[in-house]
Amino acid sequence: MLTNLTEVFRRRGYEGASLAELAEATGLKKASLYHRFPGGKQEMAEAVLSHLDKWVEQHIFSILLDENLALEQRLKNSLNNIKSFYDNGGQACIFRAFSMQAGLELFEQQINK
């Protein structure tokens, strides 16, 4: 579900993402989406940012710190994960999407982490 929400926010930004689009992306009705995210779109975006924080920790930082791998392999693996996450440059930066318009005020602390 968070991956689908991420894709909507990537494409539309925080301000441009409608509840209808977010619901459609998750396969839920708006009421079900609000049941899972009572704080609405802002809570959805916060959950996406939290999910991305964990993804970065697992797929980048933990690999870079894995001393069982040679440094070159750590860098290669981390860069491959980044390339995959951004679909070799075909996907927009989610942090950029959240740092535009009202998103910057709402998510500045999470983005600057």
* Residue 30 or residue 109, greater confidence: 30
Question: Is pLDDT of 81 > 70?
Answer: yes
Other beta carbons within 10 angstroms of residue 110's beta carbon come to 16
Q: Where are the domains of the chain?
A: 2-111
pLDDT tens string 31-57: 999 999 999 999 999 999 999 999 999
Q: Long-range pairs for 14-19 at CB < 8 Å and ≥24 separation?
A: 14/41, 14/45, 14/97, 14/98, 14/100, 14/101, 14/102, 14/103, 14/106, 14/107, 15/100, 15/101, 15/102, 15/103, 17/41
